[in-house]
Structure 1
């Protein structure tokens, strides 16, 4: 989730990531069409009142993706699968990477996507005395979604600037796409609350700085 200092690696590389979370915090980073309604997550996944009354725990497999590094130009990193988006304040589900270091969490768990599924690419655009500038761009299947309920992809991306000492940074992040439910038979709440036969464009463009 950041451009890094140092020389550009010259070798191809490949790997994968698998991450799982169990407990109350796993209620939010579940993915429709994947782990949202696994048997271990019921009845709370369907009955929110039951979940609140009984404080049900949940199981989420929020990271399941492959990565590849291509040593072209300034270096290109590709990743594909289900992953936590490196955007927003909480940066769920990888809470250790979040900008909020406290146990108490905010409404951002609902106002921001917790997982994405699709393909992303990232590269370092510039590295010099003025710092480092990196870019990420990809196509995903909407917020917390593997089974896209409107069959239109969303665009996810970011521009990230860092000083050479990595002490100050500025990020501009975005995810843009239709997020409506096409029918009442497949309402993916709370990330998609509107039911409509027409596209309902949704934009989320958090920007952040740290010094």
Structure 2
């Protein structure tokens, strides 16, 4: 079986216990490099881990249509049920490593829930129209920016602040998204209700 880079990233997490707990990106990188130095080593110095290559591969697998992993670069990664199924169908790839599926503690369950929420937040941003335009170097409107945070012109000020801050915190760790957020948040907060509707609300 010829493994793709994504396959190797999933296998690396499985070997580190990623079916039951969250694995740090750096640890996943070392494990992936140990499995395939050609894919995750520097071209000139293959004995060195190419952390950027691992980060990119983890992120792309996590953003897939039916991802085998969830998480973020900053918080870490773990296998999804789909990932566990793939590993169980290819147990020979694990060698002497065994796989434990059940979380070992309430803390690990909480961490898994956190990474699921973070993964969903990152995916929501990346599929938004505003982010697409931003990556193309084009301008987006306040309404398009507001859509990223699920707010509109009638959302109360306190809820706007809460929603933008919450999504910003969930998506920390991805440099491109953090850069996008610096532009998207001010733009989203510019969205205002039509003057006529505001006057109606004040009567």
Q: TM-score, normalised by structure 1?
A: 0.22
Taking CA–CA contacts closer than 8 Å with sequence separation of 6 or more, which of the two structures ends up with the larger relative contact order?
A: 2
TM-score by length of 2: 0.22
Larger gyration radius, structure 1 or structure 2: 2
Judging by fraction of residues, say which structure has more strand: 1
Bigger proportion of residues as helix: 2
